[in-house]
Chain A
Amino acid sequence: MLFRLSILTIAVGLLWNGTCHGFGDWRQFRGNWSSAVELNAKLPTEWVDGDEPKNIPWKVALPGRGLGSPIVVSERVFVTCSSGFHQDRLHVLCFDAAKGKKLWERQFWATGRTMTHPKTCGAASSPCSDGQRIFALFSSNDIVCLDLDGNLQWFRGISHDFPNCSNSLGMASSPIVIGDTLIAQTENDADSFASGLDVYTGETRWKRTRPKRANWTSPSPLTDGSGEVLALLQASAGIEAVRPQTGEVVWTYKSGAATIPSLVVNSGVAYVPSNGLTALRPEEGKSEPKQLWNASKLGPATPSPLVLGSKVYVVGGAGVLACASLAEGQTNWQLRLEGPFTASPVAAGDRLYFVNEVGVCQVVQLGGEKGEVVGKSELKLGKTEPADIIQATPAISDHALFIRSDAFLWKIAEMK
């Protein structure tokens, strides 16, 4: 039943921003619906044979660092990077998804502060797209909008406009598009707010003051019972569900939430990293959602939780994967993985893909009594300063997995 509801939700959502998501598009952090799931994708379980690579159609070098996911739009892969001693040179690159050929690159100068913790960098947020345009938010709170051919549409410097909107550790929230509004959370200890920007012009539709506390979580779309798509804004105080066009708050959850892993939505229920993991269902006409359950021991570490079928999957602090029921939050099984993890997992068909920071990808097969690691491949990272590292969540498109490190972008797909 839940699976059918998921399909229905996806079908409705295809119309949400006026242009159908093309087959194979993966348009934002964790995919089009921030679910990190591509049910139809068939991916290999291994891409290294001994020391020899296999199932790697191409690999390209990148001009700078990045934690932002690749996204895929109209058979093109888009990646952001930052470079320079001050990480103040901002890059947006476009590659042909089939062959890995670089189609174009655009560079910009950061207009806001670029200081970050050494582990992160200026390109920590994932770009997103409405199918016509690419929106890239950087740690300096600069937002670049380009068309798919690299033509600049508009540029906003959020920290240029509001100089106290910054974080000395770096910003990392990834924006999303709902309808024709770009939603960006630029939240920090000083001047903290979220914005809704007109995708055509970059003009501010709304600006909403948010909790004064550093926050690296990303907004997520939720389709409520009436069919309206809301943007869920997560922060230390909890959740605000806002109308994307106006920023008007529809409901609020006030019991606190994590500031690193982001919530995931499935069939109108939000699974929130809050006091462990808390399932919330919004109720029509009510200003607070109904709490379906809370599982205090299901607290995710850095990776965001993932819902597939009737289960929710959470990676805890020790790299232990927990599988729990969607209905009650009861833990069914646990599996120790090889960490450490910053990237969130993604799902293809009935397999979960986990990429750790040192380039080891573990494939967990679901369906049995317990998940089983059926594939383990190590990507050879480059020798860069600081050491090359994978912290970006992969993207899935047309039976291929796209993984990026601080130095490279790989395409992983079955090679015949």
Chain B
Amino acid sequence: MPRSTIRVVLIATLLIPPLHGIAADTATLVQTIKAVGREGKGNREANQAVVELSQQDVSVLPAVLMGFRDANPLAGNYLRGAVEAIADRTLKAGKPLPKESLEKLIRDAEQDPRGRRLAYELLVRVDDSAADRIIPDLLLDPSPEFRRDAVARLIVSGEKSLKDKAEDDAKAAFKKALSGATDDDQVKVIAKQLKGLKEEIDLQKHFGFLTSWRVVGPFDNEGLKGFDIAYPPEDKLDLAAKYEGQKGEVAWDKVATDHEYGIVNIAKQIAPHKGAAMYLTTEFQSPAAREVEFRLGTPNAWKIWVNGKLLFGRDEYHRGMAIDQYRVRGELKPGANTILLKLCQNEQKDDWAQRYEFQLRVADLSGLGLPSQPVQATSQK
């Protein structure tokens, strides 16, 4: 090897930072941040780690963004703080961001949606064509934010086709858009357009609303005390049983809804009970074991059990109702899963406090509705 080459290699070795050392250090800092927990646990260490991480070279960004995997929601925000600090400092210094690495990470659906989305937000700051290049590929992405962007583009495309009198193209664009849409504002726009194009839309199915239930009650909730009382359906679910209810003997009955947003209206479909607690149950078939979200909307107090396990409850009345108002994570087992809902009404006499209703759907963790289907069936998610 010529002496000049050896000199260049030696100088380069001195100038190039020890990549392995930096990577290890970055990994340690990311792990320290990911250890942050409830009630401020690990805050001091995470704070120090963010300070150190924020000072690192922009080349660590991909590693930090990949660190979002398995990061709890608190740690995700700490990591975000460090990433934004590194990116701002780099851009202010007139230095480039690692565009290729960022795009590679964005396109890797195995990475955490938060890290990928943050990588995208950095990339579009320095690459004007990134959105056009990337977003159309992400219609069914695990990230709801990417999906929303992709759906928005298809809505614009469909509306343009409509304006150009190309109805088939419009229909195709809106149908495609619906396949990735979970935000209700977008779904409403798409559904209106498709209905105008004489297309049938099944929103119950699209969102995965549960529409057929067994119901029993009322049980006593005067003085709001019934929320904490475990009436017999909480101990044992027996659809043939009869119970002593608030106003006499009660038995399980059927109730179903054809409301397109799956709203079961107890006040109208059963009775406008006041100071009452009702139980509702249904079965959900899952082809495999998986973690899902039970997404509930109700203006009433409630508790939810899945396969006998209490997942969550909330003692709040008449503070509004919306689709996906509450998101409760739970596990499904393969085959039949039993969902039990307790819904309580208070005794307020105001006009606005008479609603006694709910809507419940099963969704994947990104909000896509899941159909109830038996083990043998093929998942069509």
Contact = CB atoms under 8 A, between A and B. Distances in A.
Interface string A378-394: 00000000000000000
B88 interface: yes
Contacts of A201: 40, 43-44, 47
B77 A111 contact: yes
Contacts of B74: 111, 155-157, 160
A151 B78 CA distance: 10
B38 interface: yes
B316 A152 contact: no
Given A109-B77, A152-B82, A155-B78, A190 B314 contact: yes
A236 to B, nearest CB: 15
Nearest to A118: B320
Contact of A104 (B39, B46, B73, B88): B88
A153 B44 CA distance: 9
A108 B312 contact: no
Interface centre among A106, A113, A117 (most CB of B within 10 A): A106
Nearest to B54: A151
A167 B85 contact: no
A204 B85 contact: no
B316 A190 contact: yes
Interface string A135-158: 000000010101000111111110
Interface string A80-101: 0000111000000000000000
A115 B325 contact: yes
B203 to A, nearest CB: 17
Contacts of A142: 77
Interface in A199-248: 201-204, 212, 214
A198 to B, nearest CB: 8
Contacts of B148: 85
Given A152-B85, A154-B47, A202-B43, A167 B77 contact: no
A107 B80 contact: yes
A283 interface: no
Contacts of A188: 316
A106 B314 CA distance: 32
Interface string A295-309: 000000000000000
Contact of B40 (A109, A156, A164): A156
A256 B197 CA distance: 57
Contacts of A284: none
Contact of B320 (A85, A117, A151, A152): A117
B76 A189 contact: no
Nearest to B82: A152
Interface centre among A117, A154, A169, A212 (most CB of B within 10 A): A154
Nearest to A105: B84
A237 to B, nearest CB: 17
Contacts of A204: 39-40
Contacts of A287: none
Interface string B314-325: 111101111001
Given A107-B80, A163-B312, A154 B39 contact: no
B85 A151 contact: yes
A203 B320 contact: no
A86 B47 CA distance: 28
A173 B242 CA distance: 47
A267 B343 CA distance: 49
Interface residues of A, number: 41
B320 A115 contact: yes
B43 A154 contact: yes
Contacts of A169: 319-320
Contacts of B183: 85-86
A328 interface: no
A189 B299 CA distance: 12
Given A85-B148, A115-B325, A152 B39 contact: no
A40 interface: no
B124 interface: no
Given A85-B185, A109-B73, A160-B73, A214 B81 contact: no
B325 A155 contact: no
A104 B322 CA distance: 34
Nearest to B148: A85
A168 B319 contact: yes
Interface string A165-201: 0011100000000000000000011100000011001
Interface in B301-352: 312, 314-317, 319-322, 325-326
Contact of A150 (B73, B85, B312): B85
Nearest to A146: B81
A151 B50 CA distance: 9
Contacts of B84: 106-107, 150
Interface string B22-54: 000000000000001011100110110011001
Contacts of A111: 73-74, 77
Contact of A153 (B47, B316, B325): B47
Given A152-B82, A160-B38, A115 B316 contact: no
Interface centre among A115, A142, A168, A201 (most CB of B within 10 A): A168
16 contacts: A85-B148, A85-B186, A108-B77, A109-B76, A111-B74, A150-B84, A150-B88, A151-B51, A152-B81, A152-B82, A160-B73, A167-B316, A168-B320, A168-B325, A169-B320, A204-B39
